[in-house]
């Protein structure tokens, strides 16, 4: 198997490349990554001498770069995306480019290089956020998509285009829709790594709104196992929900992080809400379970403990990130919110 992993230097990509490199010792893996603020080549540096891993820097929106890496592969797993909802609210341009146009460039190359009927597999990694906020119950793959943020709308555009290339051009597309992942190597802008690293630094944990929004949490190693199962046993033309089955209120996650890091609960601050903040997502994962046998195995407490340990042991990885471009981002995202924020002691019950 010759596998192309686009966006392989980001959070899930890094974990997936490492997982597959170890689980499938005869597979060759090539990563194509633009190395945006969220990508780090050094995450995978230790694999570079293995003879089964190659890193190429490039943009999925660039047809020449894509052509150069795709001609000899058996499967493509596309993680490359702009991924942070808050950044999509500040500026959606790069989301539309990478998450829609970039997917189109990959699909065009697959179509061009593989006349209909050829079997180069294409796994498009999508998200539970394409269903929009689901106050109750669980979303099935056949449910209507109602994305609400520029991020989720772009991801919906990308996966719909991918499925259109399956139906129209016979490209062997499979789509996965995952819930919120957490674990090692996650850029510290998302809830769990931001709160862990802030707690370790004694900084406030800014909880949006009333802290009652709910997410389903999936440990990244379980996500990697699911994606390998879908690659090996999934059906072209199918969509698979991949969830952790562990739904928690954000305030509960914040408290679990405070406990796991030994920080003070006073660090938790209720701050101004995210505009258009989806209240809840929930996934029915019976299809992936029935068709591939996969199910998540890591309880949240265990996954969180492993994640906290990783961030404790890899301070140089995240402190470098947090001292760079991140500072400007953090100030514009949280500066006003935190100076106007309410702590539990000021009456904001968490
Ligand atoms: P991430 O932001 O950590 O990494 C994204 C990677 O893509 C980075 O390495 C970045 O350099 C690269 N990239 C960005 N634009 C690129 C371009 N134009 N060309 C080539 N490379 C580019 O993201 P992540 O959290 O690892 O998410 C990976 C995928 O999984 C995304 O498609 C995301 O939408 C999806 N997803 C993530 C989650 C989650 O909880 N993290 C949940 C569901 C789905
Ligand atoms: P996030 O990790 O950004 O993932 P997503 O929005 O894609 O689900 O956020 C997870 C939840 O945590 C979401 O309800 C927003 C909330 N949140 C906060 O309360 N504070 C924060 O600083 C961040 C980043 C997120």
Q: What is the DSSP string of 213-234?
A: -EEEEEEHHHHHHHHHHHHHH-
Q: Best substitution site from 11, 33, 64, 81 to test ligand 1's pocket, by max atoms within 8 Å of Cβ? A: 81
- What pTM was estimated for this model as a whole? 0.97
204: left (phi over 0), alpha (psi -120 to 50) or beta: beta
Alpha carbons 189 and 209: distance in angstroms, whole number: 17
**d(CA 281, ligand 2 centre) in Å:** 12
Of the candidates 81, 146, 90, the residue with the CA atom closest to the CA atom of residue 274:
90
Q: Dihedral angle at the C-alpha atoms of 151, 183, 128, 332, nearest 10 degrees?
A: -30
Q: Dihedral angle at the C-alpha atoms of 176, 180, 183, 184, nearest 10 degrees?
A: 70
Compute the Cα dihedral for 115, 29, 226, 135 and give only its sign: negative
Residue nearest to atom 25 of ligand 2 (CA): 191
Residue 342: per-residue pLDDT: 52
- Quickly list H helices, 170-299: 191-201, 220-233, 250-261, 286-292
Alpha carbons 1 and 158: distance in angstroms, whole number: 25
Q: Best substitution site from 250, 341, 350 to test ligand 2's pocket, by max atoms within 8 Å of Cβ? A: 250
Catalytic residue among 128, 189, 222, 247: 128
Residue 93: its H or E element: helix 93-96
| 331 catalytically annotated | no
Cβ distance 8 to 32 under 8 Å? yes
Compute the Cα dihedral for 226, 232, 233, 237 and give only its sign: positive
**d(CA 169, ligand 1 centre) in Å:** 26
Residue 308: per-residue pLDDT: 99
| 129 catalytically annotated | yes
Domains of the chain: 2-183+217-242 (3.40.50.720), 191-213+246-279+299-346 (3.90.25.10)
Residue 45, both tokens: 């540096």
Strand ranges in 69-211 using DSSP code E only, listed in sequence order: 75-78, 121-127, 172-178, 180-182, 205-208
- pLDDT average per 10 residues of sequence, the chain (350 residues): 98 99 98 98 97 98 97 96 98 98 98 71 98 98 98 98 97 98 98 98 98 98 98 98 98 98 98 98 98 98 98 97 93 94 47
Ligand nearest to the CA of 7: 1
Look up residue 168 and give its DSSP letter. Answer: H
Look up residue 254 and give its DSSP letter. Answer: H
| Ligand 1 pocket, residues with Cβ under 6 angstroms | 6-7, 9-13, 33-36, 38-39, 59-61, 79-81, 83, 98, 102, 125, 127, 155, 178, 180-181, 187
| 151 catalytically annotated | yes
Catalytic residue among 53, 151, 187, 311: 151
**d(CA 138, ligand 2 centre) in Å:** 20
Alpha carbons 315 and 328: distance in angstroms, whole number: 20
């Amino acid at each position: 198997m010759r596998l192309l992993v686009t966006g392989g230097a980001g959070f899930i990509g890094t974990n997936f490349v490492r997982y597959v490199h170890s689980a499938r010792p005869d597979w060759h893996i090539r990563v194509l990554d633009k190395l945006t603020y969220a990508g780090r080549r050094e995450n995978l540096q230790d694999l570079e001498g293995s003879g089964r891993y190659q890193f190429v820097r490039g943009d999925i929106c660039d047809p020449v770069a894509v052509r150069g890496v795709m001609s000899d592969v058996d499967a493509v797993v596309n993680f490359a995306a702009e991924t942070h909802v808050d950044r999509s609210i500040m500026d959606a341009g790069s989301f539309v480019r990478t998450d829609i146009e970039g997917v189109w460039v990959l699909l065009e190359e697959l179509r061009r290089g593989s006349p209909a009927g050829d079997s180069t597999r294409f796994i498009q990694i999508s998200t539970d956020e394409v269903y929009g906020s689901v106050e109750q119950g669980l979303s099935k793959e056949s449910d209507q998509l109602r994305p609400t943020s520029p991020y989720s709308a772009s991801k919906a555009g990308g996966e719909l285009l991918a499925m259109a290339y399956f139906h129209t051009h016979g490209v062997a597309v499979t789509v996965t829709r995952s819930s919120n992942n957490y674990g090692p190597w996650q850029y510290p802008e998302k809830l769990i790594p931001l709160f862990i690293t802030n707690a370790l630094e004694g900084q406030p944990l800014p909880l949006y709104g009333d802290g009652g929004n709910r997410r389903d949490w999936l440990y990244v190693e379980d996500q990697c196992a699911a994606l390998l199962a879908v690659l090996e046993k999934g059906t072209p033309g199918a969509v698979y929900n991949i969830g952790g089955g562990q739904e928690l209120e954000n305030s509960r996650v914040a408290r679990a992080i405070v406990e796991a890091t030994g920080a003070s609960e006073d660090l938790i601050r209720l701050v101004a809400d995210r505009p258009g903040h989806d209240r809840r997502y929930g996934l029915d994962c019976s299809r992936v379970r029935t068709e591939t046998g996969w199910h998540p195995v890591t309880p949240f407490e265990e996954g969180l403990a492993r994640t906290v340990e990783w961030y404790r042991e890899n301070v140089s990885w995240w402190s470098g990130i947090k001292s760079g471009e991140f500072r400007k981002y953090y100030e514009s995202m949280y500066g006003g919110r935190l100076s106007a924020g309410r702590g539990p002691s000021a009456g904001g019950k968490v």
